[in-house]
Amino acid sequence: MRLALRLLPFSTADGATNMAADEAMLESASAGVASLRFYTWTEPTLSLGYFQPAEARAETPGVDWVRRSTGGAAILHHHELTYALALPPGADWHTGESWVCRMHHLLRDELAAAGLAAHAVVCGEERKLGEVLCFFDQTAGDLLVDGAKVAGSAQRKWKGALLQHGSILLRRSLHAPHLAGIHDFAGRDLFTPEALAARLAARVAVAAGCDAEPGDWTPLERARTVKIRADKYADPAWNGKR
């Protein structure tokens, strides 16, 4: 019997809602439901890594912010595409190459098909060019174009299940003009966010050897998203706790 991967609808939401929805996905993954979704943000938002100090938000003054449940450094979500992959426990989903490397290699192949060369950082190539923003921190597995990071991912495990967040930088933001995206390097728009999401979802299904079918949130997940949002990601005390 082939594995099943639920493709949730492409959406745009505020930071607290996006993070709560991803945590609801992780809860479902712990019960055996594998899900993938792609989304954007209603306004420019800085997401801090789970362990970063709240003071790091000073890197982008005047921008809304939220704390992620995954680790890593801060990401400015503006002209970019975010994905969340939630996978159940067990060897069926967690064999071979890490999912960070898998996702970045799939993006590399998609960019190559569009005429843009990219490569993944390997051990020994790591560089730290800044202290706060993720896209200045080039770690093994990150995806680079012309020496600049265009995709990074972070993970959280809970009850054996995995949540992986990833950001794909599409173009420069006025809030971080020093960070170029794939469209900047290409000199043209290669994809709409929705088109890139669809292409990557198809590649994930092939790479995982699974059946990827469009699905929707369950009533329980919708209720959990509302509660998690109120209890954590929309609560200033929770976001500022470090």
**Residue 74 and residue 165: Cα distance in Å, rounded?**
12
| Residues 69-86: tens digit of each pLDDT | 998 888 999 999 999 999
| Residues 86-102: tens digit of each pLDDT | 999 988 888 778 899 89
Of residues 101, 141, 96, the one with CA closest to residue 122: 141
Say if residue 189's pLDDT is above 80.
yes
What is the token pair recorded at 122? 């390997």
Say if residue 20's pLDDT is above 60.
yes
Say if residue 221's pLDDT is above 60.
yes
Residue-range domains of the chain with CATH: 3-239 (3.30.930.10)
Q: What global pTM score does this model have?
A: 0.93
- The answer to whether 6 and 34 have CB atoms below 8 angstroms apart is yes
Query: For the sheet containing 75-77, what is the strand order?
Result: 64-67, 45-48, 75-77
- Which amino acids are annotated catalytic? 134
- The answer to whether 190 and 111 have CB atoms below 8 angstroms apart is yes
Residue % of the chain over a pLDDT of 90: 72
DSSP 132: S
How big is the chain, counted in residues? 242
**Residue 94 and residue 106: Cα distance in Å, rounded?**
17
